[in-house]
């Protein structure tokens, strides 16, 4: 089978205290801010890709909290004829210094969410997720989070990860 990943994973870090997110301005994009991110390695979990790529691109350490948004796109240039899944995660940073590669990125900065939601110099998906984050930051992240639970696989005994809206305990423990 092809070694190319079947889907891409992108991600973002969000600082709880400061309602700011790291954004990069790539040399390859025209005047547009976007979240740091990149492709999953084969067999890598969504959250692990997000944490790894944010660290590689920005030097920021973080922890996976939830999935925020999923995009399915067909015949995207660069997707090698596959449908690509672009998944945006919410991460909680534990370090804040930015250290980026100046050959790939023109700029990489902590951006204010409110500014990012309003600027014209962001991709539509970036400003849309910025609005979602602003809503979560003000009203509670439970309004926007798609959280993760682990389950044992029936045949293999391995664990798999299931992402959905938070389910109240009274329903989870139903038997």
Instruction: Kindly list the residues in this chain that would bind a copy of itself in the complex (CB under 8 A).
Output: 1-2, 4-7, 32, 40, 42-46, 67-77, 80-83, 85, 117-118, 123-125, 128-129, 131-132, 134-135, 143-146, 149, 151-156, 158, 160-165, 167-168, 171-172, 174-175
Q: d(Cα 33, Cα 92) in Å, to the nearest integer?
A: 20
The residue count of the chain comes to 175
Q: State the nearest-atom distance from the C-beta of 99 to a copy of itself, in Å.
A: 28
User: Residue 142: is it exposed, middle or buried by C-beta count within 10 angstroms (0-12/13-18/19+)?
Assistant: exposed
Q: State the nearest-atom distance from the C-beta of 135 to a copy of itself, in Å.
A: 5
Which of 114, 19, 119, 9 has the alpha carbon at shortest distance from 57? 9
Q: State the nearest-atom distance from the C-beta of 108 to a copy of itself, in Å.
A: 20
Smaller CB separation from a copy of itself, 102 or 170? 170
Backbone angles phi, psi at 167, to 5 degrees: -105, 130
Q: State the nearest-atom distance from the C-beta of 78 to a copy of itself, in Å.
A: 10
Is 51:64 a contact under the CB 8 Å cutoff? yes
Smaller CB separation from a copy of itself, 4 or 27? 4
């Amino acid at each position: 089978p092809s070694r190319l990943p079947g889907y891409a994973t992108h991600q973002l870090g969000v600082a709880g205290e400061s309602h700011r997110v790291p954004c990069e301005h790539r040399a390859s994009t025209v005047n547009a801010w976007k979240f740091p991110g990149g492709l999953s390695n084969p067999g890598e979990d969504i959250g692990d890709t997000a944490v790894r790529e944010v660290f590689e691109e920005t030097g920021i350490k973080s922890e996976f909290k939830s999935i925020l948004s999923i995009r399915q796109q067909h015949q995207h240039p660069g997707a090698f004829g596959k449908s690509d899944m672009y998944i945006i995660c919410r991460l909680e940073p534990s370090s804040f210094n930015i250290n980026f590669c100046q050959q790939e990125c023109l700029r990489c900065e902590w951006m204010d969410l409110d500014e990012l939601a309003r600027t014209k110099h962001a991709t539509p998906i970036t400003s849309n997720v910025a609005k979602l984050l602003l809503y979560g930051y003000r009203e509670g992240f439970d309004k926007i989070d798609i959280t993760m639970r682990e389950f044992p696989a029936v045949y293999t005994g391995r664990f798999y990860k299931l992402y959905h809206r938070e389910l109240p305990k009274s329903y989870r423990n139903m038997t």
